[in-house]
């Protein structure tokens, strides 16, 4: 079930809240209900996927108990830890990569599709195993609590990837205050707007520019994707975190205005924060982090970014994209930092944005060749014309959306809201609240019409 389906917003979400939080304050009871609801949420898309999720929950719950029981047997413990990790990684690799690796030899493997969210909840599970192995936390004895950690419907399908030590406390005890609830609703709306108003519409531009080889078309294509991806993913994350708040979980933010980052390093502190923290805590630091020789440091960075690339999907474009960032980060550390310090902030922001934009060209292209030809078109190489009719039409239709997308990816909205509160105080309290309700109704209009199916050809 998608967060942006009407059934979720007006059905599943309010019903879940009423079923779990409205009548009991007992966290343990809520956990049972929320686990069942989360499994229902997951089964909604496909029952087969539910089996995989259940198997992973039970397997890793048992591994956790075993890890705890073998505290005094380091060799056995290590064996259990690594075999569990391998098992999870093998499941992930089987579903996500096997069709890509063996598709040409074994065509039937091309029909294997990864269950939705597998990459995200596998990483949550690995975080649990690692935290446990490093003695950062005790094993979770309660299978319901463990199941909820893995499968809470707010974060199940698209993250944020939670780390077990952050999440553990909420499995034991949660409270829902009015303010937490209000904050959750706020974030949910914010995410809804990002997804429905921005991402879904920018996706239309992206789709329409796919085969456009004019200079303007190439830029529209890459900018549409750059903004679409941000609004889509950060919108979904906002909704997920908002849902977390509604049910008493405080999930840390996943995006922090990445397109106003002043360097590549800064960008990665703001983009998909839960993923980069995961790689930092479970790959980079265990490899020695930056407290090693220069050679090893370079190796560590490249490993982390190679894995980050591969995590995103089975395609060489993701590998290139990961290594691109690995090399840029090394470049920043050893070569460019002194220039970055001297340049004005605005220049750094623009440069970082362009770097991200070029990165997304690789990320979004089906093959490396199309990525390079798209980049060529953006530089005026191999273009069919300066501006195609198609590109001009979409620019004239969507320029306002691009302007808004550009303005609102920074902190402008927060600043305006603050100004309004300071200027109008009391009226603003009501005004801003009512404004948000109107925005919600507008988003519902977008959602309802996106379910339109007029069978036009039948009517001919």
Partner 1 sequence: MKNKLASMKRRSALLFSVILSGILVLGLIINVIWPDRDHSNVENRPLQTFPALQLQSLEDGSWTRNMTNWFSDQFVGRNLYFHLNYLLKKGTGIQKIDDVYLGKGALIQEAGAPNEALMSQKAQTIQAFHARFPLNTSVMIVPTAAQIDQDKLPPFAPGAFEQQTIDSFYSQLPEDIHALDVGKTLEKNQNKYQYYKTDHHWTSLGAYHAAKQFLKSQGMEIAYSDYERMPVSNSFRGTLESKTGSVFLKDTIDIYVAKNNPDYLVTYNNDGNPVPTIYDDEALHRKDQYEVFFGGNDSLVQINLNTDSTRHLLIFKDSYANSMIQFLLPYYRSITIVDPRYYYDDITRLIESDMITDVLFLYNYNSFQTDTSLLDVLNSAIQTANQ
Which residues bind to partner 1, rule: CB under 8 A? 1, 5-7, 9-11, 13-15, 18, 43-47, 178-179, 181-186, 189, 201, 389-390, 392-393, 395-401, 417-418, 421-422, 425-426, 428-430, 432-433, 436-437, 440-442, 444-449, 451-457, 459-460
Q: How far is CA 60 from CA 57, 78, 329, 363, 441, in A?
A: 5, 15, 35, 32, 43
Q: How far is the CB of 108 from partner 1 (least distance, A)?
A: 20
Nearer to partner 1 among residue 133 and residue 188 (C-beta): 188
Cα(62)–Cα(70) distance, integer angstroms: 12
Nearer to partner 1 among residue 335 and residue 452 (C-beta): 452
**Count, residues in the chain:** 460
Nearer to partner 1 among residue 352 and residue 388 (C-beta): 388
In 3D space, the residue among 160, 57, 56, 157 whose CA is nearest the CA of residue 116 turns out to be 157
User: How many angstroms from the chain centroid is the CA of residue 279?
Assistant: 14
Nearer to partner 1 among residue 158 and residue 161 (C-beta): 158
Q: How far is the CB of 215 from partner 1 (least distance, A)?
A: 16
Instruction: Provide the annotated active-site residues.
Output: 312
Nearer to partner 1 among residue 24 and residue 83 (C-beta): 24
Q: How far is the CB of 202 from partner 1 (least distance, A)?
A: 12
Inter-axis angle of helices 27-45 and 13-20, to 10 degrees?
150
Cβ(233)–Cβ(272) under 8 Å?
yes
Handedness of CA 404, 408, 414, 416 (dihedral sign): negative
Nearer to partner 1 among residue 335 and residue 455 (C-beta): 455
Q: How far is the CB of 412 from partner 1 (least distance, A)?
A: 17
Burial of residue 395 (CB within 10 Å: 0-12, 13-18, 19+) is middle
Q: How far is the CB of 437 from partner 1 (least distance, A)?
A: 5
Q: How far is the CB of 185 from partner 1 (least distance, A)?
A: 4
Q: How many CB atoms lie within 10 A of CB 86?
A: 11
Query: For the range 254-259, what are the long-range contacts, defined as Cβ-Cβ under 8 Å and sequence gap of 24 or more?
Result: 254/159, 254/160, 255/230, 257/409, 257/410, 257/411, 258/230, 258/234, 258/356, 259/226, 259/230, 259/349, 259/353, 259/356, 259/409, 259/410
Q: Could you give the 3-state DSSP secondary structure of residue 438?
A: helix
């Amino acid at each position: 079930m998608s967060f942006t389906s009407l059934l979720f917003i007006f059905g599943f979400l309010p019903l879940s809240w009423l079923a779990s939080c409205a009548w009991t304050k007992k966290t343990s009871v809520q956990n049972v209900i929320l686990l069942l609801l989360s499994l229902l949420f997951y089964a909604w898309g496909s029952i087969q996927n539910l089996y995989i999720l259940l198997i992973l929950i039970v397997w890793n719950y048992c591994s956790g108990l075993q890890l705890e029981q073998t505290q005094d047997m380091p060799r056995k413990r290590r064996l259990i830890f690594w075999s569990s990790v391998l098992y999870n990684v093998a499941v992930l690799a089987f579903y996500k990569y096997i069709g890509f690796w063996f598709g040409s030899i074994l065509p039937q493997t091309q029909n294997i599709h990864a269950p939705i969210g597998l990459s995200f909840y596998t990483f949550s599970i690995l975080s649990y195993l690692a935290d446990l192995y490093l003695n950062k936390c005790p094993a979770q004895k309660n299978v319901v609590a463990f199941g909820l950690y893995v499968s809470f419907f707010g974060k199940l399908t698209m993250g944020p990837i939670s780390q077990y030590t952050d999440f553990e406390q909420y499995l034991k005890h949660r409270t829902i205050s009015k303010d937490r609830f209000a904050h959750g609703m706020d974030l949910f709306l914010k995410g809804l707007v990002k997804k429905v108003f921005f991402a879904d519409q920018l996706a239309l531009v992206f789709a329409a520019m796919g085969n456009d080889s004019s200079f303007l078309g190439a830029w529209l294509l890459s900018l549409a994707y750059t903004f679409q991806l941000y609004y889509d993913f950060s919108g979904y994350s906002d909704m997920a975190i908002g849902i977390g708040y509604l049910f008493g979980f405080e999930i840390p933010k996943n995006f922090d205005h990445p397109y106003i980052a002043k360097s590549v390093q800064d960008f990665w502190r703001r983009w998909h924060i839960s993923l980069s923290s995961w790689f930092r805590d479970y790959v980079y630091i265990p490899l020695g982090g930056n407290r090693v020789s220069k050679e090893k440091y370079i190796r560590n960075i490249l490993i982390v970014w190679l894995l980050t690339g591969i995590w995103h999907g089975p395609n060489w474009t993701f590998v290139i994209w990961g290594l691109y960032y690995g090399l840029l980060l090394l470049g920043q550390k050893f070569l460019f930092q002194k220039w970055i310090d001297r340049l004005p902030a605005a220049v750094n922001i623009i440069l970082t944005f362009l770097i991200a934009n070029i990165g997304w060209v690789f990320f979004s292209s089906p093959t490396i060749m199309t990525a390079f030809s798209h980049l060529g078109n953006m530089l005026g190489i191999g273009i069919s014309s300066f501006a195609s009719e198609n590109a001009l039409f979409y620019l004239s239709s969507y320029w306002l959306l691009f302007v808004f997308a550009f303005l609102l990816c920074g902190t402008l909205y927060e600043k305006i809201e603050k100004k309004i509160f300071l200027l109008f105080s009391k009226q603003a309290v009501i005004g801003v609240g009512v404004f948000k309700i109107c925005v919600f109704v507008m988003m519902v209009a977008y959602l309802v019409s996106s379910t339109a199916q007029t069978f036009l050809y039948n009517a001919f």
